[in-house]
Amino acid sequence: MSKSELRKDKTCLNCRYVVENKFCPNCGQENTDTRKTFVQLFVHFFEDLTHYENSFWKTIRNLMFKPSSLTKEYLSGKRMSYLAPIRLYIFISFVTFFLFSVIPDSPSDETVKVNENQAKPMEQIIVTEADSINKAKDNLEKKKWIADMEKNGYIDKKVADTLQKTIDDKKAPTDGSDYMNFGYRSVEHLDSIQKFGKADEKLNGFEYWVNKKILMVKKGRTQKEVYDKVTESFIHNIPKALFIYMPLFAFVLWLFQDKKRWYYFDHGIFTLHYFSFLLLASLILELFNFFVGLMGNNSITNGIIYMIDTIIIVYMLYYFFPAHHRFYEQSRIKTIIKGILMFFINMIILTFILVGLFFYSFINIH
């Protein structure tokens, strides 16, 4: 429980009702001093987030190791002992995606990349440097960059001459000549065809918008830069996709269950708990791989990672069946048959959502 001191004034700050005990009998607000130190503020925030006392760890334990127990307890009316489903999902979702964004790649992976770069022959180094130099704004800036690298000893004269030659021989690039080429060199080329081209060359409104957006995204970017931008935007938008997908997942559950016994609300609570489990299991998997990866890249750590990853992934796939069986109280045969059918239906829905998410991520690159 909160350890804040009670106010001497018995008048509730929220509704002005007389408070005889700790909580206001009219609005339920705790009659404690609102001014807190930083430590008290942090503790209070954590208590609010975890719903006081040990309810947080009790919720997490049941979520991980007792499939469907949280859902059954919540729907039976026992709601004060556990985190509310929406609060639980939001908390786990926030922590999971936040840590995913800040956890760096495995140090062993970085070491391998460095070693691979050191082992490259001279021709590959030339190609790599040429690709980096091509990002410069104009040829004069590129040549100055090459001269500075030669002067500082980063490359020898042979490499510098080769890089200079690639600049002199390189033709002016166009937006539509290298990758994702749909026959248009630039936005200006597309607009000119749309305005002055023949009727059979012009695009309809949607096709014109898509092609123009592709050219605008590609402009001034290499293929790798576009890929990195799309990937970053895609990962950033996954939480939004999950919010869209969860109601559809609950709807599929509703289709396969007794409509008189189960309301859509019941399936929604089951879905919130199930997706909270999937996110938490994914976070545990990521953290485990990261910390074991700190021990180095060798056969022992790789074996441990492979074994634990396999166990967690298999458990994530298996979890739905006992949760479904215990919550809906159906035979194992029905649970397996319905589970397989729902799996394929959800795969179709998820595919459409991911394709839409990829398209949305692409067109929103700035």
User: SS3 for the chain, per residue?
Assistant: CCCCCECCCCECCCCCCECCCCECCCCCCECECCCCCHHHHHHHHHHHHHCCCCHHHHHHHHHHHCCCHHHHHHHCCCCCCCCCHHHHHHHHHHHHHHHHHHCCCCHHHHHHHHHHHHCCCHHHHHHHHHHHHCCCCCHHHHHHHHHHHHHCCCCCHHHHHHHHHHHHHCCCCCCCCCCCCCCCCCHHHHHHHHHHCCHHHCCCHHHHHHHHHHHHHHCCCCHHHHHHHHHHHHHHCHHHHHHHHHHHHHHHHHHHCCCCCCCHHHHHHHHHHHHHHHHHHHHHHHHHHHHHHCCCCCHHHHHHHHHHHHHHHHHHHHHHHHHHHHHHCCCHHHHHHHHHHHHHHHHHHHHHHHHHHHHHHHHCCC
Cβ–Cβ under 8 Å, residues 163 and 133: yes
How far lies 365's CA from each of 33, 158, 236, 277, in Å?
48, 39, 12, 32
- What pLDDT does residue 117 have? 47
Distance of CA 174 to the CA centre of its chain: 33
Separation CA 270–CA 88 (nearest Å): 12
Separation CA 158–CA 333 (nearest Å): 72
- What pLDDT does residue 112 have? 43
Cβ–Cβ under 8 Å, residues 2 and 52: yes
Domain assignments of the chain as residue spans, ordered by start:
1-35, 39-104+224-366, 176-219
Cβ–Cβ under 8 Å, residues 157 and 146: no
- What pLDDT does residue 89 have? 94
Burial of 65 (0-12, 13-18, 19+ CB in 10 A): exposed
- Rounded to 10°, the helix 299-328/332-363 angle is 120
Considering Cα of 296, then 297, then 299, then 300, what sign does the dihedral take? positive
- What pLDDT does residue 14 have? 80
- What pLDDT does residue 327 have? 95
Q: With a cut of 70, which residues of the chain have pLDDT below it?
A: 1-5, 33-54, 105-143, 145, 154, 163-179
